[in-house]
Structure 1
């Protein structure tokens, strides 16, 4: 929710700065002549003061966002043992999944994506295959290898492994020369 609010505030801030810049350029170049009564000048002064205070508050918020240390940018799975805390990055688990899937014969060009859920890790594997091995047993082997390897090495339960076969690897055509 805070990220959505920050995006809305950033949009309003950017739009306000843009409008104020255009108005300032128009007024400073005398493209728009201005003659205001004393009462209108007071109203304008109050409106400008309110806008300036709001923009200053937005600036403070965006400054805080830019300097704070965001732990959510480094996603990890946290575990507690009797000796202390353990953090395993999602990137580490992706690399383990990649390594396990790449070991299966017939699988090429593997990409993995991890999602953490209440029931455990959900691992999504995308791969190309060589086309020489039957796909159903190949995908089952990938699922088993990834599931077992990640659970064994990390100790984190894997609830789901999906395999998406994107395409076949195109083998280079070798043209024979006849002389």
Structure 2
């Protein structure tokens, strides 16, 4: 709704500025008769013509932006098979990465980011670990799980999985109470 309102306001603004600029150019250029008496007024009117021309060009650009249709771009990875085309959204692959990484014990608060390259998918995983396991062992396990799961599930080659450990959280310790 806000986008439609913004486009409507941009349309009205560009149309009104365009009309004002055309009238100003016609007045200042002499197409509509007007008496100029001094050289200073002529210089002022020349500056006015230039300013009105620039505003007219901006108005035309804004008018074009307000009426053009936006192309809906969905970030997806397209594959062609013998049966037809397949499109997998980047969001889907990010969710698959999170699912695979969450299977590793000791990893929490996962976030993923996907970059598509010629070599395949570059996957970046951000995680918080509990500190009970070896961090190099955890990251290697996360890399292996994500790499294998995404390649197996989507059929898209994964060129690399990088893991960023953002923090270590301590597991809550419970004191047993003996009576």
The answer to whether the superposition gives a TM-score over 0.5 is yes
1:20 corresponds in structure 2 to none
- Give SS of 1:121's match: strand
Q: Which digits, 9 at most, give the CA deviation of each residue in 1:35-83, with x for residues without a partner?
A: x9632222222322222222232233344446442455x3221222333
How many Å separate the matches in 2 of 1:149 and 1:47?
Answer: 66
2:95 corresponds in structure 1 to 95
Aligned residues: 144
What is the CA-CA distance between 1:117 and the residue it aligns to? Answer: 1.0
Q: Which runs of 5+ in 1 are unaligned?
A: 1-35
1:117 corresponds in structure 2 to 117
Q: Which digits, 9 at most, give the CA deviation of each residue in 1:78-108, with x for residues without a partner?
A: 2223333322221111111111111111111
TM-score (norm 1): 0.68
Q: Does 1:139 align with 2:139?
A: yes
From the superposition, tell whether residues 168 and 82 of structure 1 become closer, same or farther in structure 2 (CA, over 3 Å): same
How many Å separate the matches in 2 of 1:159 and 1:166?
Answer: 23
Q: Which digits, 9 at most, give the CA deviation of each residue in 1:129-178, with x for residues without a partner?
A: 11111222211110011111111121111001011111112333556779
Superposition pairs of residues 143-154 of structure 1, within 5 angstroms:
143-154=143-154
2:70 corresponds in structure 1 to 69
> Over the residues paired in the alignment, what is the CA RMSD in angstroms?
2.8
Question: Contact conserved, 1:108 with 1:169, CA < 8 A, in 2?
Answer: no
Q: Which runs of 5+ in 2 are unaligned?
A: 1-35
